[in-house]
């Protein structure tokens, strides 16, 4: 048995970070604004305001019903690049990306 250490490089150390987490449509920052609005910034630098009022005031909000409570709404956080709330509600970041005009405000249906 040899006492020599294996000098072969660890190939796992050369693997680049997962591209999915670097996708331009992933959310990198969120700030809660008044009236159920969220200022969002995406990985590619796009930013804008998502107006979520129509979601929380709809006739059948489903999982989004909890968001009508301003305190609960303010608990939004980013999980794997998506906006998420403690009850599991969230918005598709790719859809937000497609509907975001840099610096503009737009409604979330």
Q: Tens of pLDDT along 16-69? A: 555 545 688 889 999 999 999 999 998 888 888 888 988 888 888 899 999 999
Residue-level pLDDT at 105:
59
| Domain coordinates in residue numbering, the chain | 20-107
**Element (DSSP H or E) covering residue 54:** helix 53-56
Residues 6+ apart with CB under 8 A from 88: 63
Residues 6+ apart with CB under 8 A from 65: 56
Architecture of domain 20-107: 2-Layer Sandwich (3.30)
Predicted structure pTM score:
0.73
């Amino acid at each position: 048995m040899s006492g020599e250490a294996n000098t072969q490089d660890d190939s796992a150390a050369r693997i680049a970070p997962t591209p999915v987490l670097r996708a331009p449509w992933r959310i990198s920052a969120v700030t809660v604004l008044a009236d159920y609005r969220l200022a969002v910034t995406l990985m590619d630098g796009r930013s804008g305001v998502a107006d979520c009022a129509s979601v929380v005031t709809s006739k059948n909000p489903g999982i989004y019903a909890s968001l009508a409570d301003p305190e609960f709404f303010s608990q939004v956080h980013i999980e794997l690049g998506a906006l998420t709330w403690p009850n599991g509600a969230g918005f598709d970041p790719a859809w937000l990306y497609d509907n975001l005009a840099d610096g503009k405000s737009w409604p979330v249906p």
